[in-house]
Structure 1
Amino acid sequence: MKVQDILSSLKQRKYKPIYLLHGEESHYIDEICGVIENTVLNHAQKGFDQTILYGKDVDFSTIISAAKRYPMMSDYQVILVKEAQGLKWKGEEDVEMLRKYVENPTPTTILVFAYKYSKFDKRTKLYKSIEKAGVAFESAKLYDNKVAPWIVEEFQGQGRRIHPQAAALMAEYLGTDLSKVANEVQKLLLNVGAEREISVQDIEQNIGISKDFNVFELNNALGKRDALKAIQIVDYFAANPKSNPVVLVMGTLYGYFSKVLKYHYLPDKSSAAKELGVNPFFVKDYELAARNFNKLKLFQVMTILKDYDLKFKGLDAGPNTSDGDLLREMIFKILN
């Protein structure tokens, strides 16, 4: 099931007897758990019919015994097993105990396993039994190029708009941790007036990312072969290393130039946005960069990035060479 379908069913109070929420991305697991924890029972009912357990502190016999009880003050009892990845399995005995319960669950119990940061084995009989009796939802980690579209969709879901460049800037700096990204989305929803589109300036004011000196603008400067602007940005990075870690800069540059190289090899440039995994708004930037960097130069750039990645890690770099010095040197070689 998709997360929207699960949340819609919960909103309609259509419950399943068991939920297995697993995967490397914790955001949706927390969101679904939060909805179940906060909406199935009211405050008075929770004291009698809601139980919160933690995987590292509980065994399967305790979970199953609790699940077989009937509610005292409401139509349902809710059992949330948080951090279920910490459960200690005693072998086939525990697997069979849980599988037998899943195949004949207590209809008035809502049993939830929040199995975060890892995947449950989908090949097992237990997993297939859970799929049949309830909900088995995998919260997969988002790829880098999917974060900006996710941000745009989050704002659209709230009836709001964000400029593609602002969404891209958020994605570059916040990474793929959706819980972190979602918190910043909420901050913007609260602090920016609902009547207008969220801009790059709003990102700077509310999230603290400079609109002029960031990896996104460094990509643009390099794509235009604007040496002065590129050096100004690198100087800013050197003066603010905590806000602009080298690992982020290198990863972004590698991703950017990889897309520029891929653009050269696209047989149909009209599908560039889809093939590169970028918003159509940015295709013109890749087109310009491809004119300024031919294939041969791009292969040289990729070699430069690889060499300097090793230098940033301490290989073949001078003993007194700072990260800022290496960045300036690398940018000079890319542009020449």
Structure 2
Amino acid sequence: MAGQKILSQDDIQKLLNVEGTSEDDMDYQSIEEESSSEGDNESAASEVSDYDSENFSDTEATAESERTISFLGKDGTVWNSQPFPVGGARAHNIIKGQTHKIVLPPGKILVSPIDAFSLFVDDSLVEDIVKFTNMEAERVNSSKKLKIAWKPCDCIEIRAFFGLLLTAGYLRSNHTSYDVLWSQLYGPPIFRATMGLKRFKYLLAFILFDDKAKRSVRPQKDKFAPIREVWEKLNTNFKKHYLPGSNITVDEQLIPYRGKCPFKQYMPSKPDKYGMKVWWACDSETFYPLNSLPYLGKEGGERALPGLGRRVVQQITEPY
């Protein structure tokens, strides 16, 4: 037949072999390509996971290092950049019962400010002041140096004396001359109506808060002995008539005074500069005075001990 070529048996066999091998090769190549692509994907995924794990570990290490950064102070104190984890309050730090409560004696009702004042400056404290004041006036009157017509005072007169002192402070007249305060022209009438100026000066000169004859048998190191007994009674009354809250503030106060005093302090940062320093523990919410501690300086020839602030806070807050 024209245009047609007769294939021999060898040619047919070659064609058959080529077609068979091509299909198998194509299948094998496709499987090989798929496996290679899968391998590439797995290697890429493993590389990505390794990269992510490295980045995560680096981030976690950085965060951990940020949490554990600490600083060392000059005095050896270690300060952390992050606060410590806060857990539940301990049992001994949980206040059970009522707080910010006024505790009154049975049958006592507060009607006026005088009733509240009498809770702290109670009858026993005033009676001691009356007794010691009369003893001092009699001692001076019995000496040959001075002869006065002294009339023994009582609790009502001492309370009136304290009232005049508080009134002068309220009127900001504590530095005003007594002659001006008792003047008919310039002074408030309450001073002249309460007692005479001469009697007021006698009480001011003879008022005493302890037995002066027994000072020699007391500890010589106690610079606060002339007023120690009355001061402790006031502190007892402060603590007895009030239940504070969970927060207590401790701070210092400078009571202005420029007279003769063995523990007078000079504090240039205070407005009055000179005076007697007293530490107070007060309720942080109501500002109620709970306890007080005067600063008496170094006792005798003793050296000043370090950690004064820590010792004061522990001592003044010990009842709470």
Shorter-chain-normalised TM-score: which range?
under 0.3
Instruction: Give the structure-1-normalised TM-score.
Output: 0.20
Higher relative contact order (CA 8 A, sep 6+): 1
Give the TM-score taking structure 2 as reference length.
0.21
Higher helix proportion (structure 1 or 2): 1
